[in-house]
Amino acid sequence: MTNNNFGYACLPAGAAMLALSFLCRHFAALLLALALLGFAAAFLVHRARSAGLAAGATFTAIAAAEFVMAFFLPAELAPERSARFDASSDYAKQYFTQATDLGPLANPGVHSSRKQASDGELIYDVQYSIGADGFRITPGGSANPAKATRINFFGGSFTFGEGLHDDETLPYFVATGWQDIAVKNYGFHGYGPHQALAILQGERDTQGEINFFMTSPWHAQRAACVPAYSSGSPRFVLTDDKRVVRDGVCQAEQVDISPLKAAAGRVLAHSNLYRALRVLTPKGSQEKEMDLYLAIVAEMARLSRNRGQRFIVGYVKADDNYLSGAYSNDTIYEALARVADDVIDLTLAESDAALTEEYFIHELDRHPSALANQKRAQLLSQRLELAPIPVPVLTY
């Protein structure tokens, strides 16, 4: 075969491999496609011969490393499947509104939310009932809310009950399992302590006897405006004298969310080499983020006590390898215990990695299951010494 013929053969083969790589979301196939296109350029364009051969050889070598890495990468770092939201469900189309003082909230109404595995398996198919204020409605509770003990729930998607029906959330199980309890669920997808503090500082109804905040170490990044989805949410900063002050809102320019970087991130997420390098590369210090996070929680506690409310924290441990620097699950727990009226370990296991499968929705979605929320409601209620609803005695 002449050089030109080889080049002409590589061109359609590279184009076909490129299409296949995007269709199958296969990073090694993408590298092979680029290698073939590089060889095509080398043999069809005289001036590009050196660059084309170098590119072809480089991409071939990296593709080979990708294939080899697939055999050595731990299973948890090389998932065979992924999860995605069903584009036809309300959650993907008309659920969110951005025009709020807290960042994203939901549009009022009843919304469908479906999530599927990449092989088509249904992970969940649920509905979220959203009130006029953009927060989730909790069915049940005290028949006389004015005389009931009210608990305000704060947090992210764990508190909200992502992937669960209205009657499977943590606030629901607390409201319906114990006497004279009224609840308000201020949890929402992607929320952190900064939104919780803003709610307490604002005009929303936060009356009640107890403010409960369910949290985990990854909330520190949210409070520091690191994730792209934090754009538009309340921004707090820590002053030199360790006070928390409001400083506008998290801005998109505070994080690099350029379309090019976002696209590169989506592609690299399918690379075995990239996943391995992320594990091997030391993380930057989280200490400043954690300092701010803990200071925000302390301010939530101070505000609550000034209003005569108890401030309770429910702590869910992160994976040990998530944390770096001076902070660990133990030191974070101890720091929370110094500022809150009480802290409850709600991990339901010795570590997040040890959590058994009945306590999360699916292997591809580790949001709490209904059973996990039921167990956590029991732990919270025992600590608060709530009176359970008596079970009627049947007589015959």
What lies within 8 Å, CB to CB, of 221 at 6+ separation is: 227, 286, 289
Q: Look at strands 149-154 and 105-106 and give their pairing.
A: unpaired
Of 311, 373, 317, which is closest to residue 345 (Cα–Cα)? 317
- Please tell me the number of Cα atoms within 13 Å of 170 on its side-chain side: 34
Report how far apart, in Å, the C-alpha atoms of 365 and of each of 162, 164, 327, 361 are: 10, 12, 26, 6
Buried/exposed 252-288: b ≥16 CB within 10 Å, e otherwise: eeebeeeeeeeeeeeeeebbbbebbeeeeeeeeebee
Of 26, 65, 58, 30, which is closest to residue 42 (Cα–Cα)? 58
Burial label, 41 (beta-carbon count in 10 A; 0-12, 13-18, 19+): buried
Alpha-carbon dihedral sign for residues 207, 208, 209, 213: negative
Identify whether the C-beta of residue 177 lies closer than 8 Å to the C-beta of residue 163. no
Of 231, 354, 339, which is closest to residue 291 (Cα–Cα)? 339
Gap between the Cα atoms of 311 and 96, Å rounded = 29
Tokens 């702590």 correspond to 315
Gap between the Cα atoms of 166 and 151, Å rounded = 17
Report how far apart, in Å, the C-alpha atoms of 78 and of each of 45, 68, 165, 267 are: 38, 12, 31, 14
Q: Number of helices (H) and strands (E) in the chain: give both, helices first.
A: 13, 14
Give the relative orientation of helices 193-201 and 287-306 as an angle to the nearest 10 degrees.
30
What pLDDT does 273 receive? 64
What pLDDT does 355 receive? 94
Specify the DSSP class assigned to residue 389.
P
pTM, two decimal places: 0.76
What pLDDT does 284 receive? 46
Of 364, 283, 273, 269, which is closest to residue 73 (Cα–Cα)? 273
Tell me the CATH class for 83-384: alpha beta
Identify whether the C-beta of residue 374 lies closer than 8 Å to the C-beta of residue 173. yes
Q: What residue spans define the domains of the chain? A: 3-72, 83-384
Mean per-residue pLDDT pooled into runs of 10, the chain (396 residues): 72 81 74 84 81 85 76 53 90 89 95 94 97 96 80 98 98 93 97 98 97 97 91 93 93 51 59 58 68 98 98 95 87 98 97 93 96 97 81 46
Give the relative orientation of helices 27-44 and 272-280 as an angle to the nearest 10 degrees.
120
